[in-house]
A and B are shown apart, each in its own frame.
Chain A
């Protein structure tokens, strides 16, 4: 076996990681905040430092993020848009810290990272995603080297012993899945499911963009373990940077004999990896639909059995794992199954990679040990809801998951606990809702997503999700009737029990959980025609109060001209014409408009 160290320039890698340099996070989240212009500004400054792009550190709330290492000490800066680059340049020149943008010396100093345990994300935002020397210098390909000294069966035993479970949502033990396919003979296909489509989930994208070799290494180990020579990364066309990064990484790995024929000199160990892009259907994350899509068919699911391990892509036994699942494999190999199993809760081992979005102070991608209570994540890492508002609920697991209210906040994040209250790990997206969020509207939002992503194959999902959405729409417009609650419950239950695939079976979860935990909000919408959080437009009323100075600004902004009044006298809104757009409310300088 060729040693990895002979393939990669370890010295160069170490140097790159420890030298004085400026790194700019250039994953999709960074770019959307302007990080590419930030990077260009640094490059234009002609500094004596190395300037390099890295992936995403995960603290999306502070993008663009710049790390400066100077004279051996680091400073992490956030919100470094192009116009602020000069401030950092000044600090570099004076060898000081730019306090305005400073986040911390190390990640551990920053609140966002304090209780995190970054295993899978360890390299993200720290290394150049496409520098294999840097990857190897961080311990990359150590896992593969160890794995290749074992028999495939031993690797599967290790993965079983590690307690690793599928991170795609269902939590099926990965080792068990591999064992089922390992016994098959003949051609087998290994698929990485990178079709991340949940609103509020982007951890797979982060890994693919920021640490692509980890995924490739994980897939190579998996291929060796199950005996596959063909790998497919199925991801979405909406992730152009992830696709580009992975493509380049695959080419680099091939040039180092880490993919292709006789990998690392091991006779007969061949593994070719390619990328297949989906056309952007959420349902293609479901494995049978994914396989259809890979084969160029309409991305629609099929009932199981046959399971992919028996009859998959082009009839070959196929093993499908999520990006995170596969990326954990090198870690398990290098740190040892026992060490991995020490992390996490009793039945859910290792760490959970989660995405935090919604009404919180700090959004981003995080990694915590399985079993960390939701409260610590939301109030600790994410810093709770914005000032002046209170926490209301968190939607766990995307549109297939459920809403968790304050009551259950001390619940540990793991597969069983979340399932016990009708929510699920799902993809690991946590959408936090606060007192400004209307739960009926939130349910409607998720339903509008699933209904437009329903493939149309089975009746309950195709017809049912639209009818559920219509009822919710009616309620948020003040047209609901008490009977609607019953219809919602029974129809949701019907769709859950009768749909063909996981999409339909899980689609009503947000409705069922919000109905169970926030029944009052539904009732107020229906009986009093009011939205307690003032977010359903049709149920909001704007009235001008005594503070009105008669400046006329509201009337000028009203698109339907329904505000009347003489100059310097109190104005009045004609409720029969008002379209409740809120323009008057937004533009009043005297707090003279009440919303309610």
Chain B
């Protein structure tokens, strides 16, 4: 019975301790809040609870009856006795792991997820010595058809997280289980390759995968080759969010800003120049703000949707090809920086663009796809994700933690706070608003923190009043949420003028190329966001159009904002995309 001190709570006994808990909470979470970790594969705080891995079992006693039950989908009942680590429970978990190991490609030391694999971790924790089961083992070809994601089903434990992420959260539904029983596989329809499917390369499946089944397609070997080629000049650009996450690859706390160390590490790796994608983000804003004002004045192609996210662009081209006119023609910061390096910078530094190898350090697996778009041919050469950069730094035995901070190179290294916040959900919109407001009212606003579009809700709405106009804004992250908005646009019921869409939960700080938080997913992401907000706050200049480097670039090279040269180098187009 609920007691006066604990209204609306139920009392359970958790490992001999009395715990009052919310009757709608789940045992796995209640235990976690009481500092008891219950191992699990299929459970993920952001995904539907399917209770199919059966690892999170606990022993329950209710009404005198003892039962083994999964804790991820079990709600507490008054008087329930929960034991999370009885010999029977441990044995059940051990057998579970033994069964998985018996059907697993056990080449752990050479696996991309070595030391970051949950199967490996639990196997160690449960002291599984060897699997008593011999016999058939899955042996299927590795899917390397995608430029972004590599699927090795021989390492898949069929937890189903990737499927739920792709289907429920992203509504892309590129993958599903095929065949049944022991033959079950996760793959695309008719077992086609991921590269030919509707996969948008967002990599959220990679983040969700607890084992080495899903990893990014690695470009590290190509980058090493380029760094060792004396005829090449290897240049790096780093996306806004990398500085807020790279530290985690080296055991630092989430939210540690490592900008200086990151630049220093890149220099040590042999990159000749390290440029800041934040500057390209500022250019994006300048172009996008001017585009938006034009559309607003002409009341044309509204709402306008941001196009920094390559996963979203492919999603739109596949599923909403009839609404592509809403997309901003402005390139992503990555693509802007790439085109500037191969044109403006090459010219300025008197370099043959053919000799430049541009490596993008991105939070994103979809960027690997973006640089292959024919319209961007010859610009960026390789994309390394945050995780890959971490690996490369480790491979080269650089003591990251003790590096002396270094600074970005000029002329493409100076940025504003507006560029910094591109890395999290709402950031692009906030940066754009700072410029749009100043320009429309011809003022220099001081209150530029748009709190309404910050935070982790997947749909954030706001209405701002600028120059006598009421502008309705929406910021969405995850493609499922984007789909809802696009349906509104298609049906003519969309009330917004300006929309920011990011495919990944949290924006780029939650990108498919970021280190995957193993626990307390949301908390980790919030800390990463905070790191970028702090960076913005500490910047002297917090508006893109005030960036002197940007203004110099327009004066020296690009000409007018939205002008002919700007259009050629900074804009792009979209078309309907078919998939198998």
Contacts and interface: CB of A to CB of B under 8 A. Distances in A.
26 contacts: A298-B177, A302-B50, A303-B51, A451-B182, A452-B181, A453-B180, A456-B158, A456-B177, A456-B180, A456-B183, A456-B184, A458-B51, A458-B52, A458-B54, A459-B52, A459-B157, A460-B54, A466-B136, A466-B181, A466-B182, A467-B133, A470-B133, A470-B134, A491-B95, A494-B91, A498-B95
Interface in B501-544: none
A487 interface: yes
A498 B184 contact: no
B68 A455 contact: no
A305 to B, nearest CB: 9
A206 interface: no
A487 B136 contact: no
Given A455-B184, A458-B53, A459-B158, 19 more contacts: A298-B176, A303-B51, A453-B180, A456-B177, A456-B179, A456-B180, A457-B158, A457-B177, A458-B51, A459-B96, A462-B158, A462-B181, A462-B182, A466-B136, A467-B102, A467-B133, A494-B91, A498-B68, A498-B96
Contacts of B136: 466, 470
B160 interface: yes
Interface string B45-68: 000001111110100000000001
A381 B349 CA distance: 98
Interface in B168-222: 176-177, 179-184
A487 B100 CA distance: 16
A487 B102 CA distance: 14
Interface in A481-514: 487, 490-491, 494, 497-500
Contact of B180 (A455, A458, A460, A490): A455
Contacts of B103: 463
Interface in B131-185: 132-136, 157-158, 160, 176-177, 179-184
Given A464-B99, A498-B92, A457 B52 contact: yes
B73 A455 contact: no
A467 B99 contact: yes
Contacts of B134: 470
Contacts of B68: 497-498
A281 interface: yes
A463 B190 CA distance: 23
A456 B135 CA distance: 18
Given A303-B73, A466-B136, A498-B92, A459 B53 contact: yes
Contacts of A499: 54
A59 interface: no
Contact of A494 (B52, B73, B92, B177): B92
B133 A459 contact: no
Interface residues of B, number: 34
A451 B181 contact: yes
Nearest 6 CB-CB pairs, A to B?
A: A456-B184, A463-B99, A454-B181, A470-B135, A466-B182, A467-B133
A465 interface: yes
A452 B184 CA distance: 10
Nearest to A498: B54
Nearest to A470: B135
A457 B55 CA distance: 13
A464 B97 CA distance: 11
Interface in A549-590: none
Interface string A432-473: 000000000000000000011111111110111111001000
B462 to A, nearest CB: 33
Interface string B252-267: 0000000000000000
A281 B184 CA distance: 14
B179 A463 contact: no
Contacts of A452: 180-181
A499 B99 CA distance: 13
A470 B180 CA distance: 17
A197 to B, nearest CB: 13
Nearest to A302: B50
A559 to B, nearest CB: 28
B385 to A, nearest CB: 30
A39 to B, nearest CB: 39
B181 A460 contact: no
Main secondary structure of the interface of A (DSSP, over half): helix
Contacts of A500: 51-52, 54
A-side interface size class:
20 to 34
Interface of A: 281, 298, 300, 302-303, 451-460, 462-467, 470, 487, 490-491, 494, 497-500
Nearest to A282: B180
Contact of B95 (A451, A466, A494): A494
A462 B185 CA distance: 11
Contacts of A497: 68, 92
Contacts of A300: 177
Contacts of A462: 158, 181-182, 184
Nearest to A467: B133
A497 B96 CA distance: 12
Contacts of A281: 180
Contacts of B50: 302-303, 457
Nearest to A497: B68
Contacts of B55: 459
A254 to B, nearest CB: 36
Nearest to A455: B180
A291 to B, nearest CB: 15
Contacts of B180: 281, 452-456
Nearest to A300: B177
A491 B96 CA distance: 10
Interface string B462-488: 000000000000000000000000000
A24 B498 CA distance: 74
Contacts of A487: 132
A497 B57 CA distance: 10
A456 B182 contact: yes
A4 B168 CA distance: 50
A462 B138 CA distance: 12
Contacts of B53: 458-459
A481 to B, nearest CB: 11
Contacts of B184: 455-457, 462
Contacts of B102: 463, 467
A497 B182 CA distance: 19
Contacts of B100: 459, 463
A457 B176 CA distance: 12
Contacts of A494: 91-92, 95
Contacts of B132: 487
A300 B176 CA distance: 12
A34 B183 CA distance: 38
B177 A460 contact: no
A302 B73 CA distance: 11
Interface in B111-146: 132-136
B454 to A, nearest CB: 34
Nearest to B103: A463
Contact of A455 (B51, B70, B181): B181
Contacts of A464: 99
Nearest to B88: A497
Contacts of A490: 95
A4 to B, nearest CB: 45
A8 B55 CA distance: 59
A196 to B, nearest CB: 19
Contacts of A463: 99-100, 102-103, 182
Contact of A465 (B158, B160, B181): B181
A189 to B, nearest CB: 22
Contacts of A454: 180-182
A451 B96 CA distance: 17
Contacts of A455: 180-181, 184
Contacts of B182: 451, 454, 456, 462-463, 465-466
Nearest to B70: A303
Contacts of A459: 52-55, 96, 99-100, 157-158
A494 B132 CA distance: 14
B556 to A, nearest CB: 59
